[in-house]
Amino acid sequence: MELLGSIGRSRPACRGNIKMSGRGMYVDCSGCSGEARLEAKGCFNGLAERVIPGFSGEIILMGLTDRMYTGTAVEALVAISEVRDDIDTLEGGGGLTGLSMKDRSRAKRLISSIRSKLDQDPFLITCGEKELRKDISCISGKGSKPVREMLERVVEGVVRTRRRLEKEGGAPG
């Protein structure tokens, strides 16, 4: 199985009804135009927007055939969900108020760029990782440390997830 083979927003986000039961998250995909599999672009991104950060268990996508995901697939989904939460916090102004105008402007550009990549394909972040880290280090004024740390955590979360998936043979090429 090629996990997350070509993530991106080519289809609408997941609209399936979600029910939690025991350690499982059941997604009713019957009314959705998606493919009902995590390897599909819209399904992965849509569920990454809806899964609860810290979730552990199994995810069952119920469509024409039911598909159960555990382990690495669920961990990748949760990791990207947590990255999205950090970006949401930063987009909401969390931590930016104490920055100089110059650093705030840089941070907002980086946040916008990261959000765009998350919405297209979370692993695009790893393609320009060195440049992104360099841009993050340029936010250096008074009060900038928490913002830099959060942006670094975002990048590191995606990079770590991709490396783990590559190690296990399931990351995109």
Assess contact for 146 and 65: CB atoms under 8 A: no
Does residue 92 sit within a domain? yes
Entry pTM:
0.76
Closest by Cα among 80, 154, 48, 47 to 111:
154
Round to whole Å and give the CA distance between 7 and 124. 10
pLDDT attached to residue 170: 54
Closest by Cα among 165, 158, 170 to 82:
158
pLDDT in tens, the chain (173 residues): 333 333 333 334 677 888 998 889 999 998 888 788 887 777 888 888 888 888 889 999 998 888 898 888 888 888 888 888 888 888 887 778 888 899 989 999 999 988 888 888 777 788 888 888 899 999 988 888 888 998 998 888 888 888 777 776 554 43
Does residue 173 sit within a domain? no
Domain end point (choices 60, 75, 90): 75
Domain end point (choices 31, 49, 75): 75
Closest by Cα among 146, 63, 158 to 97:
146
Domain that holds residue 69: 17-75
Token pair 């819209």 is found at: 42
Distance of CA 171 to the CA centre of its chain: 14
pLDDT attached to residue 8: 38
Token pair 């913002």 is found at: 147
Same domain, 97 and 145: yes
Does residue 5 sit within a domain? no
Structural domain count of the chain: 2
